[in-house]
Amino acid sequence: MESTFKGFGQKAIPFLKALDFHQSREWFLENRDLFETELRDPLGDLVDTLTLRFAEAGLGLRGDRKKSLFRINRDVRFARDKRPYNRHLSAILSPDGTKMEQGVFYVHIGLEGCFAGVAWWQPEAALLLAIRRSIETWPERFRAMVKALNKNGLELDTEGAMKRTPRGFEHVIDKDLAAAIRNRHFVVRHVIDPAGIHGPELVEELVDFTLRAKPLLDWGRAIEGKTAKN
């Protein structure tokens, strides 16, 4: 049953701080009710509410209060860091409501910061190549997208970009195009003030951000050959 987002609990961030300090299954189980009421359930409400609002706005992004949330537990099987719990809770809304699609909305509430993103994140090799070929072949489309994002107060994030131009694109000499082709993902971010997570106004903030990021969604979907679905 869908619930309207009213805000995260006042103890949401303090809970994460305490969990990060204890990093104990016993402590987590003793305080699980606090986790659910202050963090997990409100995030589920946020996913439900954004799904409705994104549909109304024609953004083609949706989620599920169970399937869209990432686990608070860390996968430590192959990690040097064996701490069992994350320092954040997060969720993803995508074209088909799963975590497997590209062109997604992501929200992150954590000790390292609160933020949202719209992204083509680490696309598989074939899609990444198609994106790079599109930048090379139709630079005017890429530049129009970047210009639209800039007009909306957003910039493509360059974090994690390759230091060298990938093989097959060495002939691209325009600095902006070469820099874009070195990207491993295409993402814009919005910083959320932690003080602003406790009220329903967060929904409007995130809808506004995602509408401003729509040029990136539309550009990537055109490359994929897909259209928005609601």
Query: Quick count: other Cβ atoms within 10 Å of Cβ 140?
Result: 7
Q: Which CATH class is domain 12-224?
A: alpha beta
Dist. CA 178–CA 159, nearest whole Å: 15
pTM of the complete model: 0.94
**Residue 25 exposure: Cα atoms within 13 Å on the Cβ side:** 4
Per-residue confidence of the chain (230 residues) as pLDDT tens digits? 467 999 999 999 999 999 999 999 999 999 999 999 999 999 999 999 999 999 999 999 999 999 999 999 998 788 788 899 999 999 999 999 999 999 999 999 999 999 999 999 999 999 999 999 999 999 999 999 999 999 999 999 999 999 999 999 999 999 999 999 999 999 999 999 999 999 999 999 999 999 999 999 999 999 998 655 54
For residue 44, is it left (φ>0), alpha (ψ between -120 and 50) or beta?
alpha
Please give the Cα distance from 109 to 115 (Å, whole number): 7
**How far apart, in whole angstroms, are the C-alpha atoms of residue 6 and residue 45?**
8
Amino acid at 133: R
Domain boundaries, the chain: 12-224
User: What is the pLDDT at residue 79?
Assistant: 78
Strand order in the sheet with 104-110: 88-93, 104-110, 113-120, 186-192
φ and ψ at residue 58, rounded to 5 degrees:
70, 35
User: 91-125 burial by CB neighbour count: b if 16+ within 10 A, else e?
Assistant: bbbbbebeeeebbbbbbbbbeeebbbbbbbbebee
Burial letters 48-87, b for 16+ CB under 10 A, else e? bbbbebbeebebbbbbebeebbeebeeeeeeeeeeeebbe
How far apart CA 119 and CA 156 sit, in angstroms, is 9
3-state secondary structure of 62: strand
Nearest to 91 by CA among 141, 130, 41, 138: 41
